[in-house]
Amino acid sequence: MNKSELIEVVAKEAELPKAAAERVLSAVIATVTKAVSKGDSVALIGFGTFKPAKRAARTGKNPKTGAVLKIAATTVPKFSAGATFKAAVAGKKKVTAKKK
C-alpha cells in the first residue's frame, strides 16, 4: 500500500474527504518526524513507538574494491511494534476501526 492508497482507505474509514484525510496523514507524519528528529519518542499505544537510535562509528568494506572505509556515527529512526500490532500481523487479533 502506498501513501495515496492509504489516504483513500483512511478517508473511507473516517468518512472524510480525501483532501482532509491527506492533510491529517501529512500532519501526523510531519509531527512524528519533528519529534523523533529532536530526540523525543512518539508512542502510539497498541501500534508502536517511533524513537531515535544512535548508531556507533564502525568500519565497513567497499564490496567492489575490498577497501576498508570508516562509517561515521549517526542517529537513525527506529520503530518498535506494539503488542496489538504484533498480534494483528500474526493473525491472532482482528483489527477494526472505531466508529463515532
What is the pLDDT at residue 93? 76
What phi, psi does 80 have (nearest 5°)?
A: -115, 120
- CA–CA separation, 1 vs 18, rounded Å? 16
What phi, psi does 96 have (nearest 5°)?
A: -130, 150
Q: What is the pLDDT of residues 45-82, one digit of tens each?
A: 999 999 999 999 999 999 999 999 999 999 999 999 99
What are the extents of the domains in the chain? Answer: 1-38, 41-93
The answer to whether the CB of 24 falls within 8 A of the CB of 3 is no
Pick among 3.10.20.70, 4.10.520.10, 3.30.2130.10, 3.30.230.10: CATH of 41-93 = 4.10.520.10
What is the pLDDT at residue 50? 98
Mean pLDDT of the chain: 93
pTM equals 0.80
- CA–CA separation, 92 vs 20, rounded Å? 32
